[in-house]
Structure 1
Amino acid sequence: MTLLFLSALLAVLAFVLTELLRRYALAYSLMDVPNERSSHSAPTPRGGGVAIVLVYVLGLFIARESDLAVASDVLWALVGAGGFTALLGFLDDHGHIAARLRLLGHFAAAIWALYWLGGLPPLVFLGSEWRLGWLGHVVAAFYLVWMLNLYNFMDGIDGLASCEAICVCVSAALLCAASGMPSGNIVLPLLLAASVLGFLLWNFPPAKIFMGDAGSGFLGLILGILSLQAGWMRPELLWGWLILLGVFIVDATYTLLRRLFRGERVYEAHRSHAYQFASRHYRRHLPVTLAVIAINLFWLLPIAMLVVTGWLEGVLGLLLAYSPLCLLAWRLRAGMPENSVAKDQSGAK
């Protein structure tokens, strides 16, 4: 089975399964009801991200049996960690799991993935290769858990998390192709992009179904795993992946740190991410989602390509890519209390 045919098949399956999940959510009242912390105004079915999980896992096994160069260790890292994370999210979508238990489960999933991957790959920093040993394993575990949670935080407006995943995966495949990596490194992100595409057709603004914790947590963890796996193939690819993920990493991390420094309870729900302020400013989700796509394709991808092709040092490329994103987060008042920003804006008028 060719990669193109399998990708098309997964997109169609994800589209059909998302519609079935939408009907299930409507039948059993699994709705995301708007509240003061929401960025939408109408009750909307949730849990559609389960389609992404099931279709991607199916695609991995088909690819493995079709000789599309999917290694066993990477397969079990993705299926085991991703499947467990999705199950936790699914249970949380249908009820409630205490935050501490969820976090414990997230670290368990990260440790499982790192066992199969071999931990944190070597880091190339200013021409030197660094192997961090056990400290690297700890750093990698926190990185995966943060990726899982930040993707959950950033899944707040129509189409944003889906478009981000597709842009990052397709761009990562281009990076692998440009650096001459084995085909397996191209297969993994492209199959994920195809799985998300089928869901996106229902989630693009205005969304008819939301991803839910099962889908967003799964995507964040899988993207983190794929970035580490690419780093084992070639260290520059890890820098490339981190650059491609810049929009989500910068917005979520900047917002968290700013709220933390102000003494807020960072685990409480809020609407102070940069993308949330932007969507309220434009009173629509679509302009923000399209802007993120543009940033990914016309800013982050070219810088990442310069890094993996050897024209730019990895850490310098990361600083170049992230600097305007940090400035944009500051400009949009990310991490500031929503009521204070509203007062400032009304006073400016």
Structure 2
Amino acid sequence: MNIWALIITIGIAFLITVLLSPIVIPFLRRLKFGQSIREEGPKSHLKKTGTPTMGGVMIVISVVVTSLIMVSKISSTPIGYQLWLLIFVIVGYGFLGFLDDFIKVVMKRNLGLTSKQKMLGQIIIALVFYFILKANDFPTYIQIPGTNIQWELGWGYALLIVFMLVGASNAVNLTDGLDGLLAGTAVIAFGAFGILAWYGFPQSEVLIFALAVVGALLGFLLFNAHPAKVFMGDTGSLALGGAIAAIAILTKLEIILVIIGGVFVIETLSVIIQVISFKTTGKRVFKMSPLHHHYELLGWSEWRVVTTFWLIGLIFSALGIYIEVGLS
């Protein structure tokens, strides 16, 4: 694919987000769609109370519009099922996150949807995703990275898809806790999948979609970097988590997701370890979970934590690309 088409994709998504921001952010502020800060969280976060949230709407709109425009321009054939699937996932999980945010900020229920409600919605979207893949004879094997070894899962692939989509959406959601943290790490992760899609796969729709996410997030970072003028909320984080898992599935890089998404995995493990430790021993391993809060309470500045996690995400992404490309 022409490299200029890829650059234009990033540029269009970036511009759409930037142009939407001066419209959407004041609108959210007027509607009093402000973030509620957990009382048990770091005290330094209390000053963020009232910062507009649900900014993920801008990201989702930008990605969908850019993807449809660019795929229509570069393809002589109708838009394929893979792009529609990706749009279904990012919109579906984004809508689920929107409901969660709406309940939090409008109905003043700080926990949003119940865990059962959110899980049910995530599983339903994942199952629809699987059955559409099955209807299109999508292969049900997974491949060991850097090798030619394939493992056929059969019906077990449905369980893997549910696990990946639900797990990734929740893992990415946990990472969204500091100004620019998730937006930056997600730019790196989606960029890595974009590189892999460009290098080894003839899937232009997946590539365009991944780069549209990169562009949208770069635009969002202008307003989300410290001090943040807007948060993406669950609207954005659940959508991004579902989208990156869907990209990993469609490119048959299911296992590589664990490496490229290493920051998301570590954040999730920190929560699991904290809960297990506290319930079994009554002691906490970390000062607070997810892990980024632990370093804040150790005295690190918010910007230092964010940039350190960005760097770690970059290392994980480089490792994932090396394993898939360098060892193949």
With normalisation by structure 2, the TM-score equals 0.83
Report SS of the residue matched to 1:130: strand
Q: Give the superposition deviation at 1:140.
A: 1.6
Aligned match for 2:68, one of 46, 58, 61: 61
Structure 1 residue 21 corresponds to structure 2 residue 24:
yes
Residue correspondences, number = 301
- Is the CA contact (8 Å cut-off) linking 2:91 and 2:239 kept in structure 1? yes
- Displacement of 1:302 in angstroms is 3.1
Structure 2 counterpart of 1:144, from 152, 161, 165: 165
Q: In the alignment, which residue of structure 2 is the partner of 1:328? A: none
Matches within 5 A, 1:149-168: 149-168=170-189
**How has the CA–CA distance of structure 1 residues 111 and 261 changed in structure 2, closer, same or farther, with 3 Å as cutoff?**
farther
Structure-to-structure mapping, 1:64-75, within 5 angstroms: 64-68=71-75, 72-75=80-83
Q: What secondary structure sits across from 2:46 in the alignment?
A: coil
Question: Unmatched 5+ residue regions in structure 2?
Answer: 104-111, 281-286
TM-score normalised over the length of structure 1: 0.79
1-side partners of 2:63 and 2:40: how far apart? 31
Moved more, 16-25 or 131-140: 16-25
Matches of 1:188 and 1:2, distance apart in 2: 12
Aligned-partner residue type, residue 281 of structure 1 = L
Q: Over residues 178-227 of structure 1, what are the superposed CA-to-partner deviations in whole Å (9 max), with x where a residue is unaligned?
A: 43644444322111100111111100111111111111100000011001
The counterpart of 2:324, out of the listed 305, 308, 325, is 308
Instruction: Judge which range, 59-68 or 43-52, deviates more.
Output: 59-68
Which letter maps to 1:276? Answer: H
Matched to 1:27, the amino acid is: R
Who is 1:41 aligned against? Answer: 46
Alignment partner, residue 310 of structure 2: 293
CA positional deviation for 1:22: 1.4
What's the offset of the Cα at 1:262? 3.9
2:33 maps to a residue whose letter is: L
Shift of 1:121: 4.3
Cα distance in 2, alignment partners of residues 307 and 79 from structure 1: 28
Find 1:94's aligned residue among 85, 95, 102.
Answer: 102
Whether the 8 Å CA contact 1:120–1:137 is kept in 2: the answer is no
Contact 2:57 2:236 in 1 (8 A): yes
Q: SS in structure 2 opposite 1:238?
A: coil
**Mapped contact 2:89–2:246 kept (Cα < 8 A):** no
* Residue of structure 1 in register with 2:5 after alignment: 2
Partner residue in 1 for 2:35: 32
Shift in Å, 1:103: 1.3
Q: Give the counterpart letter for 1:295 in structure 2.
A: I
State whether residues 9 and 208 of structure 2, in contact with CA within 8 Å, keep that contact through their aligned partners in structure 1: no
Aligned to 1:318: none
Matched, 1:112 2:151: no
Distance 1:206 1:89, change over 3 A: same
Structure 1 stretches lacking a partner, 5+ long = 232-236, 265-269, 313-349
Question: Hey, what's the Cα distance between the residues in 2 that align with 1:26 and 1:283?
Answer: 30
Opposite residue 46 of structure 2, the aligned amino acid is S
Change (3 A) 1:101 1:307: same
Question: How far apart are 1:295 and its partner, in Å?
Answer: 1.6
Match in the other structure for 1:130: 151
Contact 2:54 2:232 in 1 (8 A): yes
Aligned to 1:222: 243
How much does 1:244 deviate?
0.9
- Mapped contact 2:71–2:205 kept (Cα < 8 A): no
* CA distance in structure 2 between the partners assigned to 1:78 and 1:203 by the alignment: 24
Within a 5 Å distance, the mapping from 1:258-297 to structure 2 comes to: 258-260=274-276, 262-263=278-279, 271-297=288-314
Query: Which residue does 1:316 correspond to in 2?
Result: none
Give the deviation of 1:135 after TM superposition.
1.4
- Return closer, same or farther for 1:115/1:5 CA change in 2, 3 Å cut-off: same
Kept in 1: contact 2:260–2:317 (CA 8 A):
yes
Tell me which of the two structures has the higher relative contact order, counting C-alpha pairs closer than 8 angstroms and 6 or more residues apart. Answer: 2
